[in-house]
Amino acid sequence: MNKTAAISIRNEALKAIEALSSALAQARGSDDEAERGRLHKQLGQIIGQIQMGILEPIVAEHPELDDLR
């Protein structure tokens, strides 16, 4: 993947994680424990899939795009 596309995709993936993290924080406020657990599990899995399936391959190809360095 060319660097320009990698940057764009990385940025959009990070926005998606930010939105999902916000939803996760809102789910923590649910009074329904079962629903809270279900949402936590599902949102966590989606965040993990974005991290491992999109961001990790981008950073492997373009290490300079790793914000945690």
Q: Is 45 exposed, middle or buried (0-12, 13-18, 19+ CB in 10 A)?
A: exposed
Region 40-66: mean pLDDT is 96
The residue extents of the domains of the chain are 3-62
pTM: 0.86
The fraction of the chain above a pLDDT of 70, given in percent, is 97
**Residue 69's pLDDT band (cuts 50, 70, 90):** low
The mean-pLDDT minimum among 43-47, 51-55, 64-68 falls in 64-68
Phi/psi of residue 30, nearest 5 degrees: -70, 140
Region 39-56: mean pLDDT is 96
